[in-house]
Amino acid sequence: MRMHFHVITLFPEVCKVYTDASILGRAQKTEKGKGAKHRGRKIAVSYYNPRDFTKDKHHKVDGRPYGGGPGMVMMAEPILKAWEKAVGRKKDIKKIKTLIMSPRGKIFDTQMAKSLAQKYEHIVFISGRYEGIDSRVQKILNAEAISVGEYVLTGGELPALTIIDSVSRHVHGVLGTFESLEEERVSSGEMYTRPEMFKYKKVKHGVPPVFMRGNHAEIEERKRSV
Ligand code: SAH
């Protein structure tokens, strides 16, 4: 296996449905049969709920912020224990990267996805909820704060899934022969499939003839110019 994602979240069941579907789901399975090209699992995704790492009977994971302010802050200890469980015993710490999902972090992009896929074997995602995470977590784990965009979400689950999805596409063997990795290509993304012509509200919608002629150079040219 080439990449192991570890997600620390209060809502693992919400994320798991997504990572078990489609391409990510397939990449977690071993291919069987004679014709199978890439037999091993390409990725693994494990989930850790901070609630399972609490000692009190209410499984408390958040507290009021010191210094005042609205909302609740996720406590450090259950998260640190979840992290220990995920990668604490791993020896080669150079192969482990810990990312804290934060709207104030470095903005995630293709370049980062590629470099994460190349450099690491374990990526740990810490998903916040409520107002965020006790700042000591980032310092103790030497984690990097990453944002998926200049907007604020209610939790770090979608950002973690976004990054897992995008990094996976750069892990060798995850995309099949018929799926393409085209981040580097500047194209309009214009595309069509069957049928060649259909009617919608009495108006006919056809496929531009250049796509029907099958001249790839001509099609590329069109995609660049649109
Ligand atoms: N008031 C907080 C907002 C917390 S949002 C603040 O200003 O930081 C709750 C959690 O959602 C955050 O801890 C983070 O894990 C996640 N989150 C929200 N928006 C995000 C974004 N754009 N990128 C990455 N994580 C985000």
CA–CA separation, 7 and 43 (whole Å): 13
Q: Is 165 in the pocket of ligand 1 (CB under 6 A)?
A: no
**Residue 196: both structure tokens together:** 């060649």
Helix, strand or coil for residue 8?
Answer: strand
Q: How far apart are the CA of 146 and the centre of ligand 1, in A? A: 10
Q: How far apart are the CA of 158 and the centre of ligand 1, in A? A: 10
Helix, strand or coil for residue 42?
Answer: coil
Q: Is 128 in the pocket of ligand 1 (CB under 6 A)?
A: yes
**Residue 62: both structure tokens together:** 């958040």
pLDDT (average), residues 17-23 = 97
Q: Between 140 and 91, where is the model more confident? A: 140
CB 72 within 8 A of CB 63: yes
Helix, strand or coil for residue 75?
Answer: coil
Q: Is 78 in the pocket of ligand 1 (CB under 6 A)?
A: no
pTM for the whole structure: 0.93
- Tell me, what's the pLDDT at 185? 52
**Residue 142: both structure tokens together:** 């030497």
- Tell me, what's the pLDDT at 36? 63
- Tell me, what's the pLDDT at 220? 85
- Tell me, what's the pLDDT at 176? 78
- Choose which residue among 74, 101, 109, 130 to substitute to test ligand 1 binding: the one with the highest number of ligand atoms within 8 A of its C-beta: 101
Q: What is the pLDDT of residues 151-180, one digit of tens each?
A: 999 999 999 999 999 999 999 999 976 667
- Choose which residue among 11, 98, 148, 152 to substitute to test ligand 1 binding: the one with the highest number of ligand atoms within 8 A of its C-beta: 152
CB 117 within 8 A of CB 171: yes
Q: How far apart are the CA of 108 and the centre of ligand 1, in A? A: 14
CA–CA separation, 131 and 143 (whole Å): 18
Q: What is the pLDDT of residues 33-75, one digit of tens each?
A: 666 665 789 999 999 999 999 999 999 999 999 999 999 999 9
Q: Taking 70 as the threshold, does the pLDDT of residue 119 lie above it?
A: yes
Q: How far apart are the CA of 211 and the centre of ligand 1, in A? A: 43
pLDDT (average), residues 72-80 = 98
CA–CA separation, 164 and 223 (whole Å): 28
